[in-house]
Amino acid sequence: MERLTTRQKEVLEAIEEAVGEQGYVPTVRELCARLGVSSTCTVQKHLVTLERKGFLSRRSRKSRGVQLAFGRGFRRRRGPVVDVPIVGRVAAGLPIYGEENVEGYIPMTRELVGTEDVFLVRVKGDSMTGDGIFNNDLVVVRRQAEAENGEVVVAMVDGEVTVKRLYREDGRFRLESSNPAFEPIVLKSVEVLGKVALCIHRL
């Protein structure tokens, strides 16, 4: 990757600090406030340069459309670090964190994940691109069996783990993609493994 100027480093560090504190990227205006500048155009130019240099990617038409490159460290306060398991194929009847299911671990600060009861799932396919979740991204999932209507969940369908928005209607469950090219999945029952809390984008 290309080297950064002092100001570009400040912009990148401000984004990392926001993610470490809040768990999500700041808007351009929030970045301006953190950097103490009034011009959104100036910050936008720095974001374009950081994207060109490979430190982040941007999704147009989204207020929080900035995604840090995979592997960028978050600047954070001192605190405990959790080794979050990357869960692969989940076999029926086996615990989520069983050795048969875990591909590896990624250390993440407690400030970012909030709890130890989380896991990572690698996204397969393009069904959730409307929510900024792309093929091969990693999503941080808070383990829970229930979710509210419209929340993005990780669910078990026909022995496969899938990421979708969950809706309840007429006594059934609908797993909805955010990409209109994909049809919804309608089920009489669904096994929710957890709620998606954060997406880590890979460039």
State the catalytic residues: 127, 164
**Is 10 in a helix, a strand, or coil?**
helix
For 188, list phi and psi in degrees, rounded to 5. -75, -30
Quick check: 132 and 188 in contact, CB under 8 A?
A: no
Q: Which residue has the tokens 């669910």?
A: 155
Helix (H, G, I), strand (E, B) or coil at 181: coil
- Between CA 183 and CA 150 the distance in angstroms is 16
Q: Is 138 helix (H, G, I), strand (E, B) or coil?
A: strand
- Expressed in percent and rounded to 5, the helix, strand and coil fractions of the chain are 20, 35, 45
* The pair of three-digit structure tokens given for residue 95, joined into one six-digit string: 């615990």
